[in-house]
Amino acid sequence: MTHGRLLAATATLGLAATTLLLTAPASAAPKHDDSGAGTVSAKLHQLNRSGAQGTATATVTGTTISDVSVMARGLTPDAPHAVHIHYGETAEHECPTMGDGTQRRTDGTRRVNVADGVPYYGPIAVSLTTTGDTSPASGLALERMPASLDGVLSYQRSGITTSQEVADAIAAGEGVVVVHGVDYNGNGTYDTASAGVSELAPVPAEATDPALCGVLEPSHAQKHKH
């Protein structure tokens, strides 16, 4: 599937799968007060043997993420990558390990899919789109997600408004950045040959499986599981 065909397919998707797996339940009770503010940062570690690495920073003031930056290299070249800040009140606020993966590639290699990761990093709290909506509803809007250039992703955006609960959680070190999209067979595109179809939508699992993950911490201490 080419980049253009992938974007065309995702543009027609409904949000049922996203709502089921990626968004927080409406009944979740607020956990934080409104005192959270400051800058947090993360070292992004590879998942699914992506070979990628990166960093992320975010500055939170009130209910606004005034600045957010994600820099990564080693990703699938010239492909869209869904990037999110995840948070869930009952999540572990950390990244999964490969041992948490319940799925297999066609070659028998264990892989972590989105459903495997949600108990650890939580549902989508913020969709890091390049333009427009940044709510969880845009979690699969690959046509508005950043694309890597020769495997290098450079993303910056400012003025993202979210709920007080989510803003406070990110400032407190409970937000997790996840970059999705892994070209398992190295053929330069997302296809179904290595991992089949995503559990979220009728697109290749390569497009939605996590490639990078890191906890946004207010200090240098990292909560990433090794």
pLDDT, one tens digit per residue, over 193-203 is 999 999 998 99
Q: How much is the pLDDT for 50?
A: 97
Compute the distance between CA of residue 81 and CA of residue 139 in angstroms, rounded to an integer.
11
Compute the distance between CA of residue 226 and CA of residue 207 in angstroms, rounded to an integer.
24
- Domain residue spans in the chain? 3-26+33-215
pLDDT, one tens digit per residue, over 115-148 is 999 999 999 999 999 999 999 999 999 999 999 9
Compute the distance between CA of residue 138 and CA of residue 144 in angstroms, rounded to an integer.
9
- Asked whether the predicted pLDDT for residue 190 surpasses 50, the reply is yes
Average pLDDT of span 6-26:
43
3-class secondary structure per residue, 118-142: HHHHCCEEEECCCCCCCCHHHCCCH
Q: Which residues of 84-97 are buried (b: 16+ CB within 10 A; e: fewer)?
A: bbbbbbebbbbbbe
Q: How much is the pLDDT for 36?
A: 58
Q: How much is the pLDDT for 19?
A: 41
Q: How much is the pLDDT for 37?
A: 79
Best-predicted range by mean pLDDT among 27-41, 168-182, 208-222?
168-182
Average pLDDT of span 178-186:
97
pTM for the predicted model, two decimal places: 0.85
Structure tokens at 39: 């800058």
Q: How much is the pLDDT for 128?
A: 98
The conformation of residue 99, written as its DSSP 8-state character, comes to G
- Are 44 and 58 in contact, with CB atoms under 8 Å apart? no
* Separation of CA 139 from chain center: 8
Average pLDDT of span 55-59:
98
Question: Which whole-number Å values give the CA distances from 143 to 6, 10, 90, 111, in the listed order?
Answer: 9, 8, 30, 25
The residue type of 192 is T
Best-predicted range by mean pLDDT among 19-28, 63-72, 213-222?
63-72
Name the percent of the chain lying above pLDDT 70. Answer: 81
Q: Which residues of 139-178 are buried (b: 16+ CB within 10 A; e: fewer)?
A: bbbbbbbbbbeebebebebeebebeebbbbbbbbbbbbbb
Structure tokens at 74: 């080693």
pLDDT, one tens digit per residue, over 21-37 is 454 443 343 444 445 57
